[in-house]
Homo-oligomer: A and B are copies of this chain.
């Protein structure tokens, strides 16, 4: 319950790793995978998704790699999570579909919990987490 996925953790590890390097240098998926002993292909997917979302930028080709592109202070943790995993809901009822439970009497309360979690995650920035 309330778990952060590996996909997100791998992304955070990569960001934090890149932040400790000089601005100009590129980092490869292989390098990170080796250093933290993490599955490279899976890590690569987190990197690709961050690239798609302009958090980092990718350089292809033989001397390629990734570097941080965005201002991490401008990205809330809520936005970051949603970029990687889609809309953030503690119950799937809101985005995906309607309630599966007929006449569910706790939809509103659960929505309130959800709002509070989202609100909290909106106050934390990526920079704050990776700094």
A residues neighboring B (CB under 8 Å)? 1-5, 8-9, 12-13, 16-17, 35-38, 77, 81, 85, 88, 90-92, 101-106, 109-110, 112-113, 116-117, 120-121, 124, 128-130
Q: Tell me if B105 and A36 are in contact (CB < 8 A).
A: yes
- Show 7 A/B contacts (Cβ-Cβ < 8 Å), sorted by A: A1-B85, A2-B2, A4-B113, A12-B106, A35-B103, A36-B101, A36-B103
Complex Cα–Cα for A12 and B92 (A): 16
User: Chain B's nearest CB lies how many Å from the CB of A91?
Assistant: 6
Complex Cα–Cα for A65 and B124 (A): 45
Residues of B within 8 A of A124 (CB): 112-113, 116
Q: Looking at the complex, which one of B116, B117, B129 makes contact with A109 (CB distance below 8 Å)?
A: B129
Q: Tell me if B1 and A1 are in contact (CB < 8 A).
A: no
Q: Tell me if B102 and A2 are in contact (CB < 8 A).
A: no
Shortest beta-carbon contacts, A-B, top 3: A109-B129, A4-B90, A12-B106
Closest to A7 in B: B1
Q: Looking at the complex, which one of B9, B12, B88 makes contact with A2 (CB distance below 8 Å)?
A: B88
Complex Cα–Cα for A127 and B120 (A): 21
Q: Tell me if A104 and B4 are in contact (CB < 8 A).
A: no
With contacts A109-B130, A113-B129 taken as known, whether A1 is within 8 angstroms of B88 at the C-beta atoms is yes
